[in-house]
Amino acid sequence: MSALRPARDGGEPDGSERRLLDQLRSGDERAFDRLVSLHSPGLLRVARTFVSTQAVAEEVVQETWLGVLRGIDRFEGRSSLRTWIYRILTNRARTRGVVEHRTVPFATLAARELGEGFTAVDPERFLPADHDRWPHHWAAPPRRWDTSPEAALSHAETLRLVQTEIAALPPAQRAVLTMRDLEGLDSDEVCAILELTAGNQRVLLHRGRSKIRSALEAHLAP
Amino acid sequence: MTTLPEMPCAEFVERVTDHLEGALSIEDEQRLQDHLAACAKCAHYLQQLRDTLELTGELREDDVTPEMRGELRDVFARWRAERS
Ligand SMILES: [Zn+2]
């Protein structure tokens, strides 16, 4: 594992971040290359949750890097470098979305999703409230997933299923889940980037994760 | 010490993310732990969620296409020219 890769739940250490910033400010292309390798794949996936095509997402990522370079002298380190870069990305993506006429502000999308009713598991799978012994306990418990070589889906197919299900999530859930569970950003970073409260961020994450689990159960344990 | 109300399975599946995030109150965390110790079905559910997280993490690919890398080098060169 490269020393530059951030921990799954944190940013880079302050010392190395400061060094990287100094190198960038002095125009060191290798430092820029390293930063690009570290963050571009994640930036692309997150951009893709805001705009309609991969090509537009790539343009947004390019604009983001230009924004990062142009703003590098003003970056004061009040957030981690990673959070700052992702905030530039979401701002560009939002602007782009407006041009594409497909945006509803992220806050509106999030509010809409949060306002919907949700249960992690079909309520029919629990015993009724008036059950004499086990109210609200499992009637149809989670089915065991078959991941053996004889299983209905191969590992590669399972991963494709997860990918498809993530793509099918409502946009705010998709953005939160992508940042948290694919890119490994921590909850504080995601709240800062998407301007969500900690509670709402958790609700969106919960809904997204629960739906992916349900889909896996439906396919791996039909 | 008063006994805490039991956490049924239907509540467990809605609280499990808050549990993983360390966001439950002390009382609710205790209720969840008590339930988990007594209910193999919910323990299984939690394991499936962990499997789900692991599978999701596997989707992370860290390659930047050569085209994109080339374009970003151009972005950098332009910026450096602007600066000097
Ligand atoms: Zn249970």
Residue A115: CATH number of its domain? 1.10.10.10
Domain encompassing residue B44: 9-83
Provide the 3-class DSSP secondary structure of residue A6.
coil
CB-closest option in B17, B39, B75 to A205:
B17
**Whether residue A136 sits in one domain with residue A37:** no
Question: Residue A101 — pLDDT band, cuts 50, 70, 90?
Answer: low
A105-128 pLDDT, tens per residue? 788 889 999 999 999 999 999 999
Cβ–Cβ gap A184/B17 under 8 Å: no
Q: Does A10 touch chain B (CB under 8 A)?
A: no
The backbone torsions φ and ψ at residue A144, rounded to the nearest 5 degrees and listed phi first, read -65, 135
| A122, two tokens | 């079909």
Residue B3 lies in a domain: no
A89 contacts in chain B (CB < 8 Å): none
Domain encompassing residue A170: 106-220
Final residue belonging to a domain, choices A79, A101, A123: A101
Report the gap between the CA of B63 and the closest CA in chain A (Å): 6
B25-66 pLDDT, tens per residue? 999 999 999 999 999 999 999 999 999 999 999 998 777 888
**Whether residue A68 sits in one domain with residue A92:** yes
Residues A185 and B10 sit within 8 Å (Cβ to Cβ)? no
A27: left (phi over 0), alpha (psi -120 to 50) or beta: left
Q: Does A61 touch chain B (CB under 8 A)?
A: yes
**Whether residue A86 sits in one domain with residue A51:** yes
| Separation of alpha carbons A157 and A194, rounded Å | 31
